[in-house]
Amino acid sequence: MLCVIGGWLLQRDGEWLVNDNVDGVRPHGMERPNYTGLVFHGVRRFLGNRQLCGAVVEFGTRGLGMRRALRLDQWLRRQNGLDPDVRTGLENDMMDAFCPFDGQWRMDTLQRGIAITDQMIAGLTSW
């Protein structure tokens, strides 16, 4: 999934990428997230009044099952004295939710990520 900063910058990124990478990527009719994390704030502060065009690339893994993985992550952070074998099994399950162990998934994701990066670099070069 590719999410870009909204407004006219969303249109500009859409020109650089195949539209099905940008449009209609949110499952179940969900709204596109408004990414405003520290990285975006830092880049904006660094660039000053210059135009900024950014993107967040996400590759889906377990869909709605990700909520379980996020809850598990938070729960594990608060567990002291958990049996080490149980902890290891749960941590492996959680990691598989974020970056599946499936080699084909990893290869497909890597290839798609490189293609998106190449498209963005070509777009930025022509800006």
Q: Are residues 84 and 121 in the same domain?
A: no
Res 125: pLDDT: 82
CA angle 71, 85, 81 (to 5 degrees): 70
Q: Are residues 36 and 85 in the same domain?
A: no
Q: Are residues 85 and 24 in the same domain?
A: no
Exposed e or buried b per residue across 35-49, where buried means at least 16 C-beta atoms within 10 angstroms of its C-beta: eeeeeeeeeeeeeee
Structural domain that includes position 93: 64-98
Query: For the whole prediction, is pTM greater than 0.75?
Result: no
Q: Are residues 54 and 86 in the same domain?
A: no
Q: What is the mean pLDDT of the chain?
A: 76
Q: Are residues 4 and 42 in the same domain?
A: yes
Q: Are residues 4 and 48 in the same domain?
A: yes
Structural domains in the chain (count): 2
| 5 confidence band (pLDDT: 50, 70, 90) | very low
| 34 confidence band (pLDDT: 50, 70, 90) | low
Residue 85, pLDDT above cutoff 50: yes
